[in-house]
Amino acid sequence: MSEYPRVSRFEVAFGKYSLFQPLNDIEVGDAHLAKLIGLEGFEKRVVIWRVGGTAMQDAAFIDAVMFEAKRCASLSHASIAQVLDLGVVEGLCFVATEHVSGRTLGAVLRVTSELPWPIAAHIASKIARALCYAHSRRSPDGELLRLVHRRLSPSQIAISVGGDVKVTGFGISWAWPSLDEYRSPEEARGEPVDGRADVFALGAILRRCVPRVGVPESIRHLIAQAMQPYPEQRPTAAELQQELTRILHTAERPVTPVELAALSVATVPLSPSRPERSFTDCLAAIERMELALDSMTLERLADGRTMLRLYERLGRLCVEAHVSERGATRMTRALDLADAFGRDDYAALFCALRGELLAQANRTDESRDWLERAAAFRR
């Protein structure tokens, strides 16, 4: 039997992996969502990062990629996407890393522009803790590994549908050019970099996330410290995390996983029509929302307002994509949720959406019944 996976015509075989979706959220580099296919229907989703072209002709460069990926494979932290595999296939060097189901912070910021400061500080705190772990990681014989991400940016921070925050690209992303906005001054000067280059990048990310007004002065001061021009002037990742934790204690309430989970699907607008979005894009967004809602229900993350808003977006997307039967089933669940929270406005909306979806499926009589129910809720 062939050692390569059997894939559909919409997928591309790549060694023992099957590539099926390029990750457009990644601003630099070649990254694909892929499947590792094994025996008895075993399947695991991963991200494949590939380096090819003229870079493959530089043996020293490829050795450096492999060396760094091997060192980063030892990282095991809740906020770091783990390195799982590396090798060369079809003339391309690749590194396989953990796939985080959700969206990147970069994708979120392209839609929402800014975040409430407690959410931005919470995300930065999680990343600072992960960086502190990576920067202090030692080899089995006790030698400090001096691991540095080097390419930290919003596109290298993933927010999962379960509300987790993870750094992606450790061990591989440095192989591509850095983004000027997040590049440390010492790297721009051509000087050696250490973990404080990541601190600078995190400061720039936090500055990008927070609003222009209504932000505590302590946050502004911390950003300025993290972005000092010389590394010895900056705090360490551990000091940055400790200060962020202190500041977060001054917020009115803690940030919940549900709020972060909502960000992972916040890239889908509420408008029922958006002609430039393809059916494939709509279907992918529907699947992300369904996964987020199922995760919230399973984990009992019952924030009613968040779930009702997500169900509204899901219903509108299903109408746009003509995913009739599937959408109608989901709107029935949404109606139960609206009833549980006593929200007649949402109940009317979900009845109307279900009626429209049934009409698309040519179930005219049922559609009329649901539209009448919607009108009854509005009275």
Q: Quick one: CATH architecture of 102-248?
A: Orthogonal Bundle (1.10)
- The answer to whether 12-98 and 102-248 have equal CATH topology is no
DSSP 3-state percent helix, strand, coil across the chain (nearest 5): 50, 15, 35
Q: Do residues 126 and 160 touch, judged by C-beta distance below 8 A?
A: no
- Report pLDDT for 297: 66
**Tokens matching residue 190:** 């051509």
Q: What is the CATH number of domain 12-98?
A: 3.30.200.20
Helices of type H across the chain: 59-72, 105-112, 117-135, 185-188, 195-209, 217-226, 237-248, 257-263, 279-298, 304-321, 324-340, 344-360, 364-378
> How far is residue 41's CA from residue 358's CA, in Å, rounded to a whole number?
35
Q: Using 50, 70 and 90 to split pLDDT, how confident is the model at 127?
A: very high
- Determine which helix (DSSP H) or strand (DSSP E) holds 160, and give its type and residue range: strand 157-160
Domain 268-378 has CATH 3.30.1690: no
**Model confidence at 43: pLDDT above 90:** no
- Determine which helix (DSSP H) or strand (DSSP E) holds 104, and give its type and residue range: strand 102-104
pLDDT in tens, 82-106: 999 998 887 788 999 998 888 889 9
- Report pLDDT for 280: 67
**More confident site: 239 or 26:** 239
Three-state secondary-structure class, residue 174: helix
pLDDT in tens, 230-252: 999 999 999 999 999 999 999 98
Mean pLDDT of 146-173: 89
**Model confidence at 199: pLDDT above 70:** yes
| Domain range annotation of the chain | 12-98, 102-248, 268-378
**Model confidence at 315: pLDDT above 70:** yes
- Report pLDDT for 131: 97
**Sheet architecture: strand order including 157-160:** 102-104, 157-160, 165-167
